[in-house]
Structure 1
Amino acid sequence: MPDAFSRMEMLLGDAGADKLGKARIAVFGLGGAGSFAAEALARCGVASLTLVDNGIVSVTDINRQLYALRSTVGKSNVQIAKMRIRDIDEGILVHTYETFYNNETAGMFDLKNYDYIIDAMNTVESKLLLIENAKISKTPIISCMSTDDRMDPSKLEIVDISRSVLCPIAKQIRTKLRKKGIRKVKVLSSREKISDIQLHGSISFMPGAAGMMLAGVVVKDLLGKSDRKHRYKK
C-alpha cells in the first residue's frame, strides 16, 4: 500500500483498502458536486476513474467548483480533473470523455464495466437516460439532485427518490422514471425548503458537501458498510 494511503489503510484494513484499489468508478458531470466527488474517490486510491463532462471553467464557476480558479478559466473540466488525479496518484487509470451524455453518445459507454456510477449532471434528460441505462446494466448508481438555492448542508441526505419531496428536479425525474417502470433510485437530495421562485443561485459549501457525501456513499456501498436504511434493490 503506498504511503499516501496508509492512514486510510489503518481505518479500513488491508481487505478494505485492497477492495477500493480494484474499484472502477464513473463520474458523469464534473461541476460542483461531481468535481469534489471525483477527487475524493481519487484520494481513496480507486483503480480507475472515468470522467465525463463537456464543460470548461468559467468565471461564474469560481464560487462553487473545485477546479475553478482564475488560472483555469477557459480550460476543460476533465483535463483539469485528470491532471489533479495524476498528481494525487499516478497509478489511477483516468479515462476522460469531453462529451455530453445523451442518446447520441450513450453508446460510447458500456456501463457494465463500472462498479459504481455517480450522476452529477445538471440536465434532467441526461440524468434520466443514465439512470435507465444503469438499471439495464445492473450497475449501482447514485444521482445527485440540485443544491441550487440552498444554504444548509446539514439538510442534505441520501434517500430513495420517492422520499425526495422538496426537490423540484427529483419530482420531475421521479415522474418520468415511473413511466419507464423504474421506482427505486438512490439519490442525494435536500430536505431544505426553497422559495417557489427558483433563482438557481449557489454558494461554495453546498456542492462540496454534496460531492463528499456522494463519494462516501460509493465507498461504503463498495465495502458493504451502508446503513440499512440506505440499502436499495437494484
Structure 2
Amino acid sequence: MLNQFSRSELLLGTEGMEKLSKARVAVFGIGGVGSYTVEALARSGVGTFDIFDDDKVCLTNINRQLIATRKTVGKYKVDVMKERILEINPNAIVNTHQCFFMPENAGNFDFSEYTYVVDAVDTVTAKIELVLRANQANTRIISCMGAGNKLDPTRFEVTDIYKTSVCPLAKVMRKELKTRGIKKLKVVYSKEPVRQPLSDMALSCKTGCICPPGAERKCTQRRAIPGSTSFVPSVAGLIIAGEVVKDIIGITE
C-alpha cells in the first residue's frame, strides 16, 4: 500500500525502511543545522526522536532555521519541531528535552538507548561531552563543525575529524578529542575560510535585544555573533541526515 514513504522505499528498500522505523535518533541542537537534519530524518521514516534545545524561536532565526517563521517566534524550538515531525509522520514518537546539554546534566540521559546521535550544537564543551558519552555507550555519532560566517554550501565534506583542515572549530575539536583518547569521529565540515562579518551584531544586540521573553540564553551573553544564510547550515543538516540514514540502513557506497 502506498504511503508517505513509498518513494523512499524505492531506493532504500522495505528492509531499510523497517530499520529506519525502528531507529531512535537523538538530535542535539534544533537550529540552522539541526532543524533541517530532523526534518529530513522525519521525511525518511525514522520512528523515534529525542530532540534537545532550550531556546525559543527568535526573529533573527528566520533567515536560516526551518522551524522559524513569524508564527513560531517566541515558541520553544523543540515544541515547534515536534509539531512538524508529527505532521509528517503521526506515528512517530517524539521525546522533547527543553534543556541546554552540558557535562553537568549529561548523566540524565542514557546514550545506549539511541541508535544514532547527531551533534548540531555550537558549544565546544557540549560537543566534546556528546562525543565522550556516545563513545562510552558504543552509539554512533556524527558531529557538525562550523557553519557560520560561510557562503559556499558546496565546500562541505564528510570525513574523520583528524582529516579536517581550515575549519577553526574542527582544529579545536581535534586537539581536545586527541587529549581524551578519542581515535575517530565522523564529521561534516567545510574547507571554506571563515569570513569576517561586515559589522558587529553583538553591539546592536546589547542595546536593542529582540530575544523572546523568557529566552534562556540571549544574544547579549555572546562575545560574537556569526553571520549566517539560509543555504549553508541547511545543506550541512541535510548531509548529516543522509549519513545517518545510510549508516542505519547499512549503505556503504
Alpha-carbon distance, 1:196 to partner: 7.0
SS in 2 for 1:205: coil
Q: Distance in 2 between matches of 1:34 and 1:196?
A: 24
Relative to the length of structure 1, the TM-score reads 0.93
Distance 1:208 1:195, change over 3 A: closer
SS in 2 for 1:226: coil
SS in 2 for 1:21: helix
CA deviation vs aligned residue, 1:110-135 (integer Å, no higher than 9, x gap): 00001100000011100000101111
Structure 2 residue 246 is matched with structure 1 residue 220: yes
**Structure 1 letter corresponding to 2:16:** G
Partner of 2:178: 178
Partner of 1:232: none
Partner of 1:211: 237
Q: Distance in 2 between matches of 1:97 and 1:188?
A: 24
Partner of 2:19: 19
Q: Is the 8 A contact 1:149 1:199 kept in 2?
A: no
**Structure 1 letter corresponding to 2:50:** T
Q: Is the 8 A contact 1:174 1:183 kept in 2?
A: no
Partner of 1:40: 40
Relative to the length of structure 2, the TM-score reads 0.86
**Structure 2 letter corresponding to 1:127:** K
Unaligned runs of 5+ in 1: 228-234
Structure 2 residue 157 is matched with structure 1 residue 157: yes
SS in 2 for 1:31: coil
Partner of 2:90: 90
Q: Is the 8 A contact 2:39 2:85 kept in 1?
A: yes
Partner of 2:209: none
Q: Distance in 1 between matches of 2:123 and 2:154?
A: 25
**Structure 1 letter corresponding to 2:119:** D
Partner of 1:113: 113
Alpha-carbon distance, 1:68 to partner: 0.8
SS in 1 for 2:189: strand
Q: Is the 8 A contact 1:52 1:100 kept in 2?
A: yes
Q: Distance in 1 between matches of 2:155 and 2:161?
A: 15
SS in 1 for 2:22: coil
Q: Distance in 1 between matches of 2:225 and 2:35?
A: 22
CA deviation vs aligned residue, 1:212-231 (integer Å, no higher than 9, x gap): 0000000011111134xxxx
SS in 1 for 2:135: helix
**Structure 1 letter corresponding to 2:84:** R
Unaligned runs of 5+ in 2: 198-223
CA deviation vs aligned residue, 1:26-81 (integer Å, no higher than 9, x gap): 00000000000011101111120000110111111111100111111111000000
Partner of 1:69: 69
Q: How does 1:99-110 map to 2 (within 5 A)?
A: 99-110=99-110
**Identity, % of aligned positions:** 45
RMSD: 1.4
Mark the structure with the bigger radius of gyration.
2
Structure 2 residue 50 is matched with structure 1 residue 50: yes
Aligned residue pairs, count: 227
**Structure 2 letter corresponding to 1:211:** G
